[in-house]
Amino acid sequence: MSLLITQVQVTIEEMPPNDNYNGYRDYRDWFPYQSFRPHQEEMLDRVQEVACSGEHRVLAIDAPTGSGKTSVIAPLLANRGGNKIVVALRTVSQIGVYLGEIKKIKRETGHSPSVAYLVGKHKMCKLSGEFDNVYAGCDLMKVFTMDVLEAKLNETMRRNNRSAQEYNVYDPETDPEIATEIADESPGYRTFCPYYLHSKEAYTNEGAKNFRPSKQAINDSKAILQEILYPEELRKRCTRTCPYEVMAISAKKADVVILNYNHVFDDAMRDALFDWLEINPENTILLVDEAHNLGDTVRSINSDTITLHVVEKAISEVNQVTGEKNRIVARSAGNILSRISTYMEKTRNRWQGRKQGEDWFDPGMFADFVFAGGGLARDDSQSIADLLKLAQNIKKQKQKSSESAEVFLERVSEFLFMLHLARRDSSYLPVKSMSDDQWLTLAIRSLDPSPVIAGIADTVHATILISGTLSPAAAYELYYFGKNGRVEILSIPNQFPKEKRLVLGAKNATTQSSYRNNPSNQRELELHISALIEGVLGNVAIYFTSYSMMDQYFDHCRRAAQESGKILYTEPKDARDVPDILKRFFESGSSDKKGVLLAVCGGKMSEGIDYYGEALKGAIVVGFPLAAFSEVQKLVNSYYQRKYGRDQGLFIAYTLPAVNKAIQALGRVHRSADETGVLVLCDSRFSRGGGLGVRQYLPQWMQDEMIICDGTWSRELVQGW
């Protein structure tokens, strides 16, 4: 009988892939729904084909909300072969969507995909409530805990009279005294992390002391691989071990590993993390969620900033350096730091009275000033290398004396390293900026994400980029990969019924600078705004191009809100106040007193928030949300114009982000097929093609459905809808 079972199992496992689908392993068997949405099958077929053939292919899917794009995980799982699927998320909020989809696959199809994730340490850490900064706090706790483990291992060897050359193990699970020591610790004043302690064991190997996952952590990781747990459930499940460590062990065996953008697109972090999780990039299928954010996020990951506060902290670290050898380097580091501080103070004083603003600074002049003590034979690279080495020594000293793991000299040194790059490479832009009339920041901004993104795509087995607003996709391809023809593009039509939306484009109104103060133009803008506030019987959002424009139209919006019996909500300055305002705005949507939200396109409330159901019944983008045409923006534009030519370069650097901000903001209204709403593109540039017009860059459904109207007709259309 057992022989028969074995033979049957072998037969099933060795079955060739279903050749009904050109030799691919048919994902329909992994698809957890009764039927496909329109175009979904076509999308999943393409994903299947790319995942199977590999060859570093890249597929970009532009699929509006409602297309069922999370289901791309099914063909990836069905066809991953020996590859691991790495899902890169921009925000931790998306993790539930993927876990939910994989859970459904497990429940509905009988397959057992395993998943691990390393996102949102603040949600996973058992001690998160005890730290201001969970990452820094955890780093320090781990160092302390390793010291405890090592001391315990030494004690075990001494007690058993054994040498380090022999094999010794200290496993906290078998230590009868450890429970008392843990109980003696006070929250907020711990000398080690009990969960990390139970996740590790220390051992000797040929005289060297090492650490490895404890049996308890391995058992926990095996258990959680059997099921799919949300972060809160995982936290509860790991009663003695660290959920983050347990997840990291699981990740080595999991079919799918969910990470954040930084883990994947920060070169240093990726190398370390992939190594730790035993992920071979060449055997990875990369799925990038919300890919319209990828370029800007990669640029930000590869940029660096310092403030006066950071420099002052670094000076204080250097002043505390001990040891004769270190003192010599510390003296020269102190000189460099104080010159940076002088440069920043002078810049700040020169900018007093200028509340906001940013400008380019010359990296050569900055380096001449900062490294001035080096004389003719100065060697900036060597000075930076010395600073980085000193920063490492300070880090070790801090860890020994139980201070925070953050080393400010390291941040300054890395900034100087980037500045050094910026002297030769125009894709790094040095920028000084001022906020609130007093805070000066020096930044080296990375302008071009394409070397990083293309480099990763050229390494992994295959890459799938998905987004609801990747329009126009060919421009994103150029921005992300530096050339056209590298990416296969699939654009899916909007699946929501067109009867559920009214799309209006302003005929004349514009926020173009030459018309901004023109009274009849202002009147037109106001008419469009009033038409939405007064005509829509529900919550509406008014998205402006800037905070100053929001102030300019504030009184008008308040009057219109009052006349229609609605409550006015305004995007707060402080991001911490957003949840409270959103909560009240959402409640308004289901009450008699509807709400009007004033916010900024590309601000805190126009992207990444799901305004479900009654929360939003209409939105208007007032003006075309171009970035301010500052000196810095001009330099960004020139970089891209040099790279891609005058028109294409300007489009990528300047116009594309504005188009995306507008589409994102209006995309808040329809989050499911049964929702209705009014969308207004209130700038004549949206309504026109050619010249300054951008209509041809909008998603096809928007172009097709847009009714071009003036403010008066806008009111009639909204009221009659």
Of 261, 340, 330, 268, nearest to 300 by C-alpha is: 261
Nearer to ligand SF4, 246 or 542 (CB): 246
Nearer to ligand SF4, 152 or 715 (CB): 152
Task: State the number of binding residues for ligand SF4 (CB under 6 A).
Answer: 12
Is 242 a binding residue for ligand SF4 by CB under 6 A? The answer is: yes
Of 663, 716, 714, 711, nearest to 686 by C-alpha is: 663
What CA–CA distance (Å, rounded) separates 472 from 475? 6
Nearest-approach distance from CB 188 to ligand SF4, in angstroms: 12
Of residues 57-76, which lie at the interface with ligand SF4 (CB under 6 A)? none
What CA–CA distance (Å, rounded) separates 123 from 10? 42
Is 248 a binding residue for ligand SF4 by CB under 6 A? The answer is: no
Nearest-approach distance from CB 369 to ligand SF4, in angstroms: 41
Report residue 176 as tokens: 């009868």
Q: Over 211-251, what HEC string results?
A: EEECHHHHHHHHHHHHCCCCHHHHHHHCCCCCHHHHHHHHH
How would DSSP label each residue in 174-215?
G-TTHHHHHHT--TTS-SS-HHHHHHEEEEEETTEEEEEE-H
Of 693, 687, 714, 697, nearest to 663 by C-alpha is: 697
Is 142 a binding residue for ligand SF4 by CB under 6 A? The answer is: yes
* One residue of 196, 361, 428, 496 binding ligand SF4 per CB under 6 A: 196
Nearest-approach distance from CB 229 to ligand SF4, in angstroms: 16
Segment near ligand SF4 (CB under 6 A); pick from 134-142, 419-427, 675-683, 707-715: 134-142
Nearest-approach distance from CB 319 to ligand SF4, in angstroms: 30
Is 141 a binding residue for ligand SF4 by CB under 6 A? The answer is: yes
Nearer to ligand SF4, 258 or 550 (CB): 258
Is 237 a binding residue for ligand SF4 by CB under 6 A? The answer is: no
Is 126 a binding residue for ligand SF4 by CB under 6 A? The answer is: yes
Is 247 a binding residue for ligand SF4 by CB under 6 A? The answer is: no
Segment near ligand SF4 (CB under 6 A); pick from 109-117, 119-127, 334-342, 615-623: 119-127
Nearer to ligand SF4, 140 or 254 (CB): 140
Nearest-approach distance from CB 189 to ligand SF4, in angstroms: 14
Nearer to ligand SF4, 193 or 336 (CB): 193
Angle at 103 between CA 97 and CA 106, to 5 degrees: 145
x/- track of binding to ligand SF4 for residues 466-505 (CB under 6 A): ----------------------------------------
| Phi, psi dihedrals of residue 489, rounded to the nearest 5° | -115, 135
Nearer to ligand SF4, 142 or 661 (CB): 142
* One residue of 125, 202, 229, 669 binding ligand SF4 per CB under 6 A: 125
Segment near ligand SF4 (CB under 6 A); pick from 108-116, 121-129, 520-528, 583-591: 121-129
Is 235 a binding residue for ligand SF4 by CB under 6 A? The answer is: no
Are the beta carbons of 31 and 78 closer than 8 angstroms? no
Nearer to ligand SF4, 189 or 349 (CB): 189
Nearer to ligand SF4, 130 or 414 (CB): 130
Segment near ligand SF4 (CB under 6 A); pick from 1-9, 136-144, 503-511, 687-695: 136-144
What CA–CA distance (Å, rounded) separates 542 from 550? 9
Are the beta carbons of 549 and 623 closer than 8 angstroms? yes
Angle at 244 between CA 123 and CA 393, to 5 degrees: 105
Is 249 a binding residue for ligand SF4 by CB under 6 A? The answer is: no
What CA–CA distance (Å, rounded) separates 22 from 692? 47
Roughly how many angstroms between the first and final C-alpha of the chain, as a whole number?
71
Segment near ligand SF4 (CB under 6 A); pick from 31-39, 123-131, 297-305, 499-507: 123-131
* One residue of 98, 195, 476, 496 binding ligand SF4 per CB under 6 A: 195
One-letter identity of residue 91: T
Nearest-approach distance from CB 289 to ligand SF4, in angstroms: 24
Q: H/E element holding 573? A: none
Is 384 a binding residue for ligand SF4 by CB under 6 A? The answer is: no
* One residue of 51, 73, 105, 127 binding ligand SF4 per CB under 6 A: 127
Is 456 a binding residue for ligand SF4 by CB under 6 A? The answer is: no
Is 117 a binding residue for ligand SF4 by CB under 6 A? The answer is: no
Nearest-approach distance from CB 214 to ligand SF4, in angstroms: 12
Is 121 a binding residue for ligand SF4 by CB under 6 A? The answer is: yes
Segment near ligand SF4 (CB under 6 A); pick from 125-133, 415-423, 432-440, 545-553: 125-133
* One residue of 115, 193, 217, 632 binding ligand SF4 per CB under 6 A: 193
**Other C-beta atoms lying within 10 Å of the C-beta of residue 81:** 13
How would DSSP label each residue in 592-653?
SS-EEEEEETTSSSSSS----GGG-SEEEEES--PPP--HHHHHHHHHHHHHH-HHHHHIII
Is it true that the peptide bond before 657 is cis, omega within 30 degrees of 0?
A: no
Report residue 669 as tokens: 């209204």
Segment near ligand SF4 (CB under 6 A); pick from 15-23, 190-198, 501-509, 586-594: 190-198
Nearer to ligand SF4, 240 or 556 (CB): 240
Report residue 649 as tokens: 């370069």
What CA–CA distance (Å, rounded) separates 542 from 679? 10
Segment near ligand SF4 (CB under 6 A); pick from 189-197, 268-276, 377-385, 576-584: 189-197
Residues paired with 642 in a beta bridge = none
Nearest-approach distance from CB 185 to ligand SF4, in angstroms: 12
How would DSSP label each residue in 349-367?
HHTTT--SEEEE--HHHHH
Nearest-approach distance from CB 146 to ligand SF4, in angstroms: 11
Nearer to ligand SF4, 120 or 667 (CB): 120
Nearer to ligand SF4, 242 or 492 (CB): 242
Is 244 a binding residue for ligand SF4 by CB under 6 A? The answer is: yes
Classify 678 as helix, strand or coil.
strand
Nearer to ligand SF4, 29 or 232 (CB): 232
Of 635, 602, 619, 627, nearest to 675 by C-alpha is: 619
Question: Max CA-CA distance within the chain?
Answer: 92
Is 138 a binding residue for ligand SF4 by CB under 6 A? The answer is: yes
Query: If you ran DSSP here, which 8-state letter would residue 470 be given?
Result: -
Query: Who contacts 495 (Cβ-Cβ below 8 Å, separation ≥6)?
Result: 37, 38, 39, 64, 66, 67, 673
Query: If you ran DSSP here, which 8-state letter would residue 654 be given?
Result: I
Nearest-approach distance from CB 141 to ligand SF4, in angstroms: 4
In the complex, the residues that contact ligand SF4 under the rule CB under 6 A are: 121, 125-127, 138, 141-142, 193, 195-196, 242, 244
